[in-house]
Amino acid sequence: MPPLRIALAQVNAVVGDLEGNAERVRDGLRSAHDAGAQLVLFPECVITGYPAEDLLLREHFLRDARAALQDIAADVHGLVAIVGCPERAEDLFNSAAVLADGAVRAWYRKMHLPNYGVFDELRYFQSGAGGAVIEVDGVRVGLTVCEDVWSPGSPLAEEALAGATVIVNVSASPYHAGKGLERERMIAQRARDNLSVVAFCALVGGQDELIFDGHSFVVDHEGHAIARAPQFTESLLVADVDPDAAAAARLRDTRQRPAARSVRGEVAHLGAFMTAGSQDEAPVQRGPLAPVLERDAEVYAALVLGTHDYVEKNGFAHAVIGLSGGIDSTLVALVAVDALGADRVTCVTMPSPYSSPETLGDARALAANLGVELLEVPIAPAMGAYDAALAPPFAGRAPDITEENLQARIRGNLLMALSNKFGWIVLTTGNKSEMSVGYSTLYGDSAGGFAVIKDVPKLLVYRLVEERARRDRDAGTELVVPATIVTRAPSAELRADQRDEDSLPPYQVLDRIIEGYVEGDLDRDQLVARGLPADDVDRVLRLIDLAEYKRRQNPPGIKITTRAFGRDRRMPITNRYRPAAGGRPPSRAPARTAGPGRR
């Protein structure tokens, strides 16, 4: 049997843009046809975008999605297309439609619906009943959607036992750091276990907090990657697969025969299709193998894609950033320029009497090196006006964090004024370490439209700035980030001689506690057992719990860790549970008091 040529259309769908998504699918169909593909795959829910959330509860939205799919199907000739789309039938299913010969010929319904982490699929969908296969030019192909292959067994195993030597998976799998290689290794194991070729077609792009990293690939029946698409960009991956090699391996390995007898009749056969792309005389094309980015380069690319897509998909032409000369606003400025271009980014310095000449000079140098517009708006006059207005009610009270936070709120008001006047989106600059413990000011530095680094811990912020500098060095260009931005001790500069570590544990300690408590759900004793100082653990856990009300009011931002604040980690604001040390019964939570210096 000749090889089967498969095209994987890694496209950037937009939630709700039925017409635009349909055109993206048509573009992929044309490219796949020109490449001689017999079978072309499109990602999960590509017609509607993913996740469409409560749009899926609207009957008219589902009707329009179905109509868009049928219009596409009319153009499908000479090849078979597998297209992800919600299927409204007796219930709603997360399905893969089989398009061939000018029509929708069949549907495969996703069996395993994730309902953990960022997923809510049980809110919207019914589960499919079982696996399904089709035949394309005599090759039996098993159909799966995303989560269907994340656990061993049904439906992939049953489809393989029913004779499928090629398994296809159309997916919308959200990203976290390292996720792409995790997927590839896991699916390679499925291929080895079932002696099947597996083609994984992934969505790419940003959708609110979520990033879809692409990284589509094909692995052979021995688990070797024979084709891989690049990460974080649209691509059409084309590869020839050898179904005979998988069949021959099964002939030699007879362990599956008893199980194969038991599944006959349990897997639906959705049809057999002939295409115009038989590869009898065409040379075998294994496909390109795009390199996988190193971890920090991968995270940086995710931030760039997420920022670009949030700004573009929501119709903003320009972004504005408060540039302090510190490491956090530096990283946000770098990402914004790489995502949008320097001509679409404005930076604003807002010096106060506590701003050092060094940080102000670094902010000016960075803006000049990046080629962005820089506005300078001193806030001392506004601080004086607030002090005068509040002098009567504050009479007899010494200055404290109230006056510090007024500075952050003045800056937030100035940035929002620029946003209102010019239609710019404000990109906030708070990192995960600060947001975890509430080291931020409500309606101040947290005010804005998109929080680029809200899921990036402080130590990773430094590594990502270094990653950007490495790119400059590799390109032989001048470094854009002044060295003192990296070497200077971090400070909010809201009072004289202020340093972050006056209010917080060292970031080397703080980030480990946050990772363990937020991402790993470790308790106090488990964290102390890992060598973390008990006093720091007690204080940080309390601050994380108390700051939930602040985090709820922050703008959306990009998820890059295994557990981000927002849709990924859902804790109550009103919550008196506080675990005690040493396995003792939990104590009642104390009354709310101020966080580490900022509210």
CA end-to-end span of the chain, whole Å? 69
What does the alpha-carbon distance between residue 560 and residue 174 come to, in Å, rounded to a whole number? 9
For residues 403 and 480, the answer to whether their CB atoms sit within 8 Å is no
| Partners of 5 in the β-ladder | 240
What does the alpha-carbon distance between residue 76 and residue 245 come to, in Å, rounded to a whole number? 29
Alpha helices in 36-126 (DSSP H): 59-73, 121-124
User: Within 10 A of 476 (CB to CB), how many other CB atoms are there?
Assistant: 6
User: Within 10 A of 479 (CB to CB), how many other CB atoms are there?
Assistant: 12
Looking up tokens 């946050």 gives 514
For residues 534 and 277, the answer to whether their CB atoms sit within 8 Å is no
What does the alpha-carbon distance between residue 107 and residue 332 come to, in Å, rounded to a whole number? 44
Q: Largest Cα–Cα distance of the chain, in whole Å?
A: 91
Which amino acid would we find at residue 163?
A: G
Extract the tokens encoding 543: 């601050």
For residues 87 and 109, the answer to whether their CB atoms sit within 8 Å is yes
Integer-rounded Cα Rg, in Å, for the chain is: 27
User: Within 10 A of 271 (CB to CB), how many other CB atoms are there?
Assistant: 16
User: Which residue in 178, 189, 174 sits closest to 225, CA to CA?
Assistant: 189
User: Which residue in 96, 102, 85 sits closest to 270, CA to CA?
Assistant: 96
- Please list, in sequence order, all residues whose beta carbon lies within 8 angstroms of the beta carbon of residue 290, skipping any fewer than 6 positions away: 228, 229, 230, 231, 235
Where does 331-449 show beta strands of DSSP type E? 345-349, 373-376, 425-428
- Please list, in sequence order, all residues whose beta carbon lies within 8 angstroms of the beta carbon of residue 358, skipping any fewer than 6 positions away: 325, 484, 488
Extract the tokens encoding 163: 């004779």
The dihedrals phi and psi of 450, each to the nearest 5 degrees, come to -155, 130
Please identify which of the residues 45, 85, 121, 146 carries the catalytic annotation: 146
- CA torsion sign for 292, 296, 301, 307 is positive
Please identify which of the residues 87, 110, 159, 493 carries the catalytic annotation: 110
Is 559 assigned a catalytic role? no
For residues 111 and 153, the answer to whether their CB atoms sit within 8 Å is no
What does the alpha-carbon distance between residue 9 and residue 279 come to, in Å, rounded to a whole number? 20
What does the alpha-carbon distance between residue 316 and residue 419 come to, in Å, rounded to a whole number? 10
Is 421 assigned a catalytic role? no
What does the alpha-carbon distance between residue 53 and residue 108 come to, in Å, rounded to a whole number? 21
What does the alpha-carbon distance between residue 142 and residue 194 come to, in Å, rounded to a whole number? 12
Extract the tokens encoding 323: 């540039």
Extract the tokens encoding 335: 């990402």
Q: What is the 3-state secondary structure (H, E, C) of 319-343?
A: EEEECCCCHHHHHHHHHHHHHHCHH
| Partners of 8 in the β-ladder | 41, 237
Provide the annotated active-site residues. Answer: 44, 110, 146
